[in-house]
Amino acid sequence: MEHSDALYARARAVIAGGVSSDARRLPGTPLYVDHASGSRLWDVDGNSYIDYVLGQGPAILGHSPAALADAVAAQMRRGVTYSAQHLTEIEVAERLQSMVPCAELVRFNSVGSEAAHAALRLARGHTGRPKVVKFEGHYHGWFDPVLFSVHPPLDQAGPAERPVLVPGSGGQLPEQAADLVLAPWNDLEAFTAAIAQHRGEIAAVVMEPVLCNSGAITPDDAYLAAVRQICDDEGILLIFDEVITGFRVAPGGAQERLRITPDIGVFGKAMAGGMQVSALAGKAEVMESIVSGKVSHAGTFNSHPVAMAGARAVLEILDEKRDDIYPEMERLGRRLMDGMSGIAARLGVPMLVQGTGHLFQTYLTDAPDVRNYREFAAAGRPAMARLHGLLLDEGINMVPRGLWFLSAAHTDDDVDATLVAFENALSRM
């Protein structure tokens, strides 16, 4: 990988660690992409990859779909940024309102971390309460108040049923955890106990409704319904962080698929097919705290015209072709999931595959099921990292922890080629 290695050496002299996000750190030379189109990436050494990372999820129509490229190019000539109101933001907001159950009113930001931050401020400002319940293994962006116990080392994380908050980075202050209440996810008893312990102090419960940062786990139906009910009973706002699941697991996100409507939803990634847009979407009664100015929300680039033009084009396709796109993505994902399970069984390699098809997680483990962070952490993560390297050699790019994203650009031919490559890689483990 002559050109990639040379670029990595050059990068390390000017970019801290050689990469621009810690999520892109790899044991060796990271992927240096030359260009991407449809379901494929090409690196600077001329290798091509079937891509299941899709920019960590956003490229739901595949890379550089014509509708997105045209919309962005056209808007560039009408002005890149105004920091003023425009028609496109209204059209995108209207589309969100019609697609997403909780989206009675919306506000836009640029990235998921910002919108998640805004959601917690809104919940605290609206309820006048300080605390937020967060779940172990869930990620809500890289900002200090939420970067706790995402992937904590197990020797620091405390007992499974009463986990302790572990900062995700040097530089976070212990007091930033003071108003977080940590609970194990998908465990109703532990959740009920946490609520009872802090009764009257909790503004919000925030979760990834399908956990995608520690596996690809759909919660038990009864659990989610009970959490919704307890939040209602206790005057607590339920926040779904749908930065990954939004516009991916269903047109209206996990809240549509799981039929539980939160008070606030946070969206990003797939919403604009790869352009930088995020959204805070909530019930009108809650968003009233922004309407009235009680809770502040701002940003120079909010409703950025170019990004909004991208979002409008992508959402129009996702909405209007929903009956084709979502079942097909799920069908192809399930073909991969079943195919991989079959290959592993044939090779005698213990493997578990979980997910909705639109996204899924592979584990090299003999565990029959993974239901929460602790089980995810125990399920063969070093082996998965090894498989990631072997798959890259075979021209397949998955998220290193074993997560796979599908797009509307993937085809049966991609699935066939991926399964051949998967068998080759797995037999070399």
Q: CB count, 10 Å around CB of 80?
A: 10
Contact 429, 387 (CB under 8 A): yes
Q: Which of 43, 51, 187, 241 is catalytic?
A: 241
- Cα–Cα distance for residue pair 214/427, rounded to 1 Å: 25
Q: How far apart are CA 322 and CA 97, in angstroms?
A: 16
Active site residue 269: yes
In the complex, minimum distance from the CB of residue 415 to ligand PLP, in angstroms, rounded to a whole number? 25
Q: Is 113 in the site for ligand PLP (CB under 6 A)?
A: yes
Please tell me the count of residues contacting ligand PLP according to CB under 6 A: 14
Q: Establish if 139 lies at the interface with ligand PLP (CB under 6 A).
A: yes
**Candidate residues 40, 140, 312, 374; the one interacting with ligand PLP per rule CB under 6 A:** 140
> Is 106 in a helix, a strand, or coil?
strand
117 binding ligand PLP? (CB under 6 A): no
CB of 162 to ligand PLP, least distance (A): 24
243 binds ligand PLP (CB under 6 A): yes
Catalytic hit among 8, 52, 139, 373:
139
- Tell whether residue 107 is a contact of ligand PLP (CB under 6 A): no
Strand, coil or helix: what is 265?
Answer: strand
Helix (H/G/I), strand (E/B), else coil: 247: coil
Q: Which of 51, 131, 263, 269 is catalytic?
A: 269
Question: In whole angstroms, what is the distance from residue 184 CA to residue 170 CA?
Answer: 23
Q: Are 190 and 161 spatial neighbours (Cβ–Cβ below 8 Å)?
A: yes
Provide, rounded to whole angstroms, the least separation between the CB of residue 111 and ligand PLP: 4
DSSP reduced 3-state for 295:
coil
Q: Decide: residue 231, CB within 10 A, 0-12 exposed, 13-18 middle, 19+ buried.
A: buried
Strands 105-109 and 278-282: antiparallel
Q: Which is nearer to ligand PLP, 351 or 384 (CB)?
A: 384
**Residues in 50-89 that interact with ligand PLP by CB under 6 A:** 56
- For the chain, how many residues are written? 429
- Rank residues 236 and 271 by Cβ distance to ligand PLP and give the closer one: 271
Among 105, 116, 165, 264, binds ligand PLP (CB under 6 A): 116
When CB distances to ligand PLP are compared, the closest residue is 112
Contact region with ligand PLP (CB under 6 A), list: 5-13, 93-101, 236-244, 364-372:
236-244
Tokens of 187: 């465990």
Stretch that binds ligand PLP, among 154-162, 241-249, 292-300, 320-328 (CB under 6 A): 241-249
8 is an active site residue: no
The per-residue b/e assignment along 329-343, b for 16 or more CB within 10 angstroms, e otherwise, is bbebbbbbbebbeeb
What is the C-alpha to C-alpha distance for residues 59 and 286, in angstroms, rounded to an integer?
31
Among 50, 111, 190, 370, binds ligand PLP (CB under 6 A): 111
Binding flags for ligand PLP, 180-219, as an x/- string (CB under 6 A)? ----------------------------x----x------
Could you say whether residue 268 binds ligand PLP (CB under 6 A)?
Answer: yes
412-427 helix and 322-347 helix, angle to the nearest 10 degrees: 20
**Residue 235 and residue 421: Cα distance in Å, rounded?**
51
Using the rule CB under 6 A, is 414 a contact of ligand PLP? no
Member of 141, 209, 357, 395 binding ligand PLP (CB under 6 A): 141
d(CA 272, CA 96): 12
Summarize the chain as % helix, strand, coil (round to 5): 45, 15, 40
137 lines the binding site for ligand PLP (CB under 6 A): no
- Which residues bind to ligand PLP, rule: CB under 6 A? 56, 111-113, 116, 139-141, 208, 213, 241, 243-244, 268
Catalytic residues: 139, 241, 269
